Amino acid sequence: MTLGWDVWLGVAGVAVAVAVLMAQGVLRLRAAYGRKWKAISWCVISLLLCLGAAGASLLLSYQMEGLARAMKNPPPPSHLPPDWAPHFTKGERSEHSQMLARHTFINWGIHVNYFDLDGAFIQYQPTDQDRQVRAAQLKYIERTEFSRALFIWAAIGWILVPWIALAVAFMPWAQREIVALTNRSNADAPPAGGAPLS
């Protein structure tokens, strides 16, 4: 399972949105603007999203590691002895031994012997299709290992998102946002003292 760059860009966009949501929640808490429970909810939801995404990324990285390990350790090569499967007919022995020799080349890149239809024990010569399948398999292993590394970095990134949001919310320029929210909150507050009695 390898993901395209469009999916990774989408994940990055979601991470930015979550960071903005958390930063807004922290700014509202600092400015005492709006309902406190709403700002806290934004922060908690953002934190849970980050932890869930980090856990899912780690799980996927372990799955990628297992898949890559399985593909890099296929069944052992089939070095057949000259007296292999004497109970088979010549056609059966040729078919099965050729299949084993083909899989050995695809999985290991080595040439082993097989039995032809005449019963001769000769070296298997891979076809162009065999070479293409082997090249595609090696490429897939490479992509799987690269995806595993990306998932590990994604997990680290998701763990850092809340800290980035906090850092943004406490940057010096964020003070202007706090002042604006405070002024807006004060403007919306009811006047002190109420109306005079007539």
Confidence of residue 42 (pLDDT cuts 50, 70, 90): confident
- pTM attached to this predicted model: 0.69
pLDDT of the residue at 20: 82
Q: Between 172 and 42, where is the model more confident? A: 42
CB count, 10 Å around CB of 75? 10
User: Residue 36: is its pLDDT beyond 70?
Assistant: yes
Q: 100-111, pLDDT tens digit by residue?
A: 999 999 999 999
pLDDT tens digits for range 133-187: 999 999 999 988 988 998 899 899 989 988 888 887 777 766 666 666 666 655 5
Q: Which pLDDT value is given to residue 195?
A: 47
4-15: pLDDT as tens digits: 666 767 777 888
User: CA 131, CA 102: separation in Å to the nearest integer?
Assistant: 10
Contact 38, 31 (CB under 8 A): no
First to last CA, the chain: 77
Task: Give the lowest-confidence range in 33-37, 42-46, 149-153.
Answer: 33-37
pLDDT digits (tens, 9 = 90+) for 45-76: 888 989 998 999 899 899 989 988 998 888 89
For residue range 117-132, list pLDDT tens digits in order: 888 999 999 999 999 9
